[in-house]
Amino acid sequence: MKSDPNVFAGIMATDVRAVEHALDDAIAAGGQMLQNFAQGRRSANLGVRVGQPALVKMMGALSAVVEARGGVASAHDLMAATARRHGLSYVNAGPFEDKGDPDEKEDPRVLTLVGS
């Protein structure tokens, strides 16, 4: 017996949302760990070089998680477009948050203000 294609679409929508949320949680946990690292090293009166190689590795890993988040968001856009082309509905799996316009470019002035 074949299953309803809309049920499959709903399962995929729920799964991709779970992956997006897991990556957001990983980014948040990584940020908390970095904060604890910086503050903890100082409060423990350890030298500035203590843990530096591990910190560099962690920053690289967290950067990869941020890149992965963007890749998952792009895959999500492709999955949604495929569902639309095939007339599939996944609304029963909602509610969903707005992903924003995938073609919208970030305002570089915002990044400059945050980074300065």
Q: Is the pTM of this model over 0.85?
A: no
How is residue 50 annotated by DSSP? T
Look up residue 38 and give its amino acid.
Answer: A
| Contact assessment for residue 57 and residue 30, using Cβ atoms and an 8 Å cutoff | no
Provide the residue-wise pLDDT of the chain in tens; the chain has 116 residues: 678 888 888 889 999 999 999 999 999 999 999 999 999 999 999 999 999 999 999 999 999 999 999 999 999 999 999 999 999 988 766 666 666 666 666 665 555 555 55
